[in-house]
Amino acid sequence: MGAVDVSLCVASYRRPDGLVRLLHSLAALKVPEGVRVEAIVVDNDPASDPAAPPASGIELPGWPLRVLREPRRGVAHARNRAVAAARGHWIALLDDDGIVDESWLAAHWDCLGERECDGLFGPVLPRLQAPVDPWLDPLIRYAGRRYRTGRRVTDQGLRAGNALVRRALFRDGGFDPEFAHGGGEDVAFFRGRVARGAHFEWCDEAIVHQVVPVACHRLGWLVRRAFRSGCVEARVQRRLRRAPARPAATARAAADTALLLAAALASLSGGRGRAARGLLRAVAQAGQGWAHLGGICAEYRD
């Protein structure tokens, strides 16, 4: 195969149905004229059958699909394997629980044609498989911040679920294996590149949907996600040397957790949804305190 413009890189672990959904959405992509595309899926399950790789039998129209294996467990290893195999000038990073809009790549490509930057990020919108609970569903649908197209992003929104970045960003290193089991390798990598002068912007028209299964429609799932998010934030801050000394950071996280828990209890009269939002903020602070103490949230370890 000749030169490639865009390599679509997907790290996958034991989500065969999700991966199939993602690949079917990629097959429906409206690829801009003249843009050469390839797709790379990295199977990160060492127990999977090499003779029956995930997504076997699926074909993408007009461009190749390669399925590779990465036996070292951890999303950072899988992403690095995909990037190392990529031949594109641009690397698109996606997760195996996503579904891309048919205009996703075209929207990113149009943005690249209008501005000079090192990469683009876009919204990842939760899509519930089915409504479950009127007070809990809005918390699950929360998609984080969105920005106007063209806005420079330096902190929030820098994640691998919807990214199109220059391959040159990986010349002197990839995703940090220290984040392999706890996640946050993408946040650490992109914020680190910003600190070294990389210029990233937002493309709000390039939409990816994240499928949230019914099994995740529980407050406990949201609590674990909030704790992990707080843990990741603190670990990234420490890696970039932006966190205060460990004792001060831990004490501050503990104090914030206590205040937010008190506020959550006080807001019970306003309904379960409002109280739950306060609880999740407190749990995120607790996750930061845990990380400042040296702990990790090993979400990606068996």
CATH number at residue 92: 3.90.550.10
> Tokens 């010349």 sit at which residue?
171
Please, are residues 88 and 14 in contact by the beta-carbon 8 Å criterion? Answer: no
More confident residue, 204 or 55: 204
Contact 146, 81 (CB under 8 A): no
* 232 is a domain residue: yes
The domain containing residue 262 runs over which residues? 219-292
Three-class DSSP category at 213: coil
What angle in degrees, to the nearest 10, is found between the helix axes of 272-292 and 219-239? 40
Which of 161, 188, 216 is the endpoint of a domain? 216
**Residue 81 counted as domain residue:** yes
**142 and 233 together in one domain:** no
Residue type, 122: G
DSSP symbols for 30-93: -PPTT--EEEEEEE--TTS-TTS-TTTT---TTS-EEEEE--S-SHHHHHHHHHHH--EEEEEE
Same domain, 233 and 278: yes
Tokens read off for 140: 């699950």
110 and 173 inside one domain: yes
In a domain, 298, yes or no: no
173: buried, middle or exposed (CB in 10 Å: 19+, 13-18, 0-12)? Answer: exposed
Look at residue 117 and tell me if it is in a domain: yes
Confidence of residue 53 (pLDDT cuts 50, 70, 90): low
pLDDT the model gives residue 230: 86
10 domain residue, yes or no: yes
Shared domain check, 188 and 105: yes
pLDDT at residue 131 tops 80: no
For residue 243, the model assigns a pLDDT of 59
> Are residues 274 and 202 part of one domain?
no
226 in the same domain as 181 = no
pLDDT digits (tens, 9 = 90+) for 167-225: 999 999 999 998 887 788 999 999 999 999 999 999 999 999 999 888 888 888 888 88
pLDDT band per the 50, 70, 90 thresholds, residue 302: low
Q: Tell me the whole-structure pTM to 2 decimals.
A: 0.86
Of the residues 216, 241, 263, which one is the last residue of a structural domain? 216
Question: Could you tell me which residues come within 8 angstroms of residue 293 by beta carbon, excluding any fewer than 6 positions away?
Answer: 246, 250
| Tokens read off for 242 | 């932006």
In terms of domains, do 266 and 194 share one? no
Highest mean pLDDT among 67-71, 100-104, 241-245, 284-288: 100-104
Residues 204 and 260 in one domain: no
Residues 89 and 228 in one domain: no
What's the whole-number average pLDDT of the chain? 85
129: in domain? yes
* Residues 61 and 178 grouped into a single domain: yes
Closest CA to 191 of 224, 147, 238: 238
What's the number of domains the chain is made of?
Answer: 2
Q: Would residue 263 count as lying in a domain?
A: yes
Q: What is the pLDDT of residues 2-39, one digit of tens each?
A: 589 999 999 998 888 999 999 999 999 999 999 999 99
Q: Are residues 13 and 69 in the same domain?
A: yes
183 and 119 in a common domain: yes
Check residue 29 and give its pLDDT: 94
pLDDT tier at 268, thresholds 50, 70, 90: low
Q: How far is CA 236 from CA 9, 35, 231, in A?
A: 23, 35, 9
Task: Please say which residue of 216, 234, 260 terminates a domain.
Answer: 216
The pLDDT of residue 147 is 95
208-212, strands of its sheet edge to edge? 98-100, 208-212, 124-128
Q: 78-90 pLDDT, tens per residue? A: 999 999 999 999 9
Of the candidates 88, 139, 99, 140, which has an alpha carbon nearest to the alpha carbon of residue 123?
99
| pLDDT tens readout for residues 244-260 | 666 665 666 566 666 55
pLDDT of residue 43: 92
Q: Is residue 302 domain-resident?
A: no
Report the DSSP pairing between strands 88-95 and 4-12.
Answer: parallel
